[in-house]
Amino acid sequence: MMKSNNGSGEEPRGLLEVRDIVVHYGRIEALHSVSLLVREGELVTLLGSNGAGKTTTMRAISGLRPLTRGSVWFEGREISCMKAHVRVAEGIIQAPEGRGVFPGMTVTENLEMGCYGRKFPTKAEHREKLDWIFDTFPRLAERRSQVGGTLSGGEQQMLSIGRALMARPRVLLLDEPSMGLAPMVIQQIFGIIADINSQGTTILLVEQNAQQALSRSDRAYILETGTITREGPARELLNDDSIRAAYLGVA
């Protein structure tokens, strides 16, 4: 095990742990000693407004943004210096902000791209996983031969999540899955996320839709201008007057 560069020597307490990470863009410090913990089987939300640093946190966890200080731990090992593609092979899988579907590929081909770096042991297991994706997302099953660029926004979000699930994640990183979607579709997407979690997938969710995220999560962290300002049980935060005023427009 690599030595922690935060100097604590403390053993990780969960499946995924971020310890006091600092991230810069040039001279601008985007994250200021951010720490969070995701235990196996949990659905944890990182809640914050636009520009709070949520996507930067996800990019740091997935290895797409280098750390200035601090450390990231996964399954009891420090992975701070691990390349992004190796983290994917280890099971840290992200459905990115903006969905990122391949517009000229069919739904099935998009899903197949999800397991590019995470090969299945047998063809039978591969087929079983693909069938499960189509059972979880019936709309995708109906459009399996349709190219991704012609899908609606909600369908593309389902495809993005389905593609990530094809990689058999140990922890699934979801970045703003509600962005740009109609309220009815948002409710459907969050219902699917909760169902996926109930079946055993560990999820770290980045969101600014407080009502949907907090009502379905186990725990949550509030991120404001690069700093974690609150953390606790999601239901407790949902009922907190200051959180409701800031994120739900309820005084």
pTM summary value: 0.89
CA 251, chain centre distance (Å)? 30
| pLDDT above 70 as % of the chain | 94
Tell me which of 160-169, 182-191, 240-249 is least confident: 240-249
Which pLDDT score, from 0 to 100, does residue 1 have?
32
Which pLDDT score, from 0 to 100, does residue 6 have?
44
Which pLDDT score, from 0 to 100, does residue 115 have?
85
154-173 per-position pLDDT tens digit:
999 999 999 999 999 999 99
- pLDDT at residue 237 above 60? yes
11-45 per-position pLDDT tens digit:
557 899 999 999 999 999 999 999 999 999 999 99
93-146 per-position pLDDT tens digit:
998 777 789 999 999 999 999 887 777 778 899 899 999 999 999 999 999 999
> Domains in the chain, please, with CATH?
16-248 (3.40.50.300)
- pLDDT at residue 2 above 60? no
Which pLDDT score, from 0 to 100, does residue 248 have?
72
Which pLDDT score, from 0 to 100, does residue 195 have?
94
- pLDDT at residue 240 above 80? yes
The pLDDT confidence band at residue 234, using thresholds 50, 70 and 90, is very high
Q: What is the dihedral of CA 147, 150, 153, 157, to 10 degrees?
A: 0
Which pLDDT score, from 0 to 100, does residue 104 have?
95
Contacts of 96 by beta carbon, 8 Å cutoff, 6+ apart: 160, 175
Which pLDDT score, from 0 to 100, does residue 102 have?
93
Token pair for 97: 């902000």
Which pLDDT score, from 0 to 100, does residue 67 have?
98
Which pLDDT score, from 0 to 100, does residue 12 have?
54
201-232 per-position pLDDT tens digit:
999 999 988 999 999 999 999 999 999 999 99
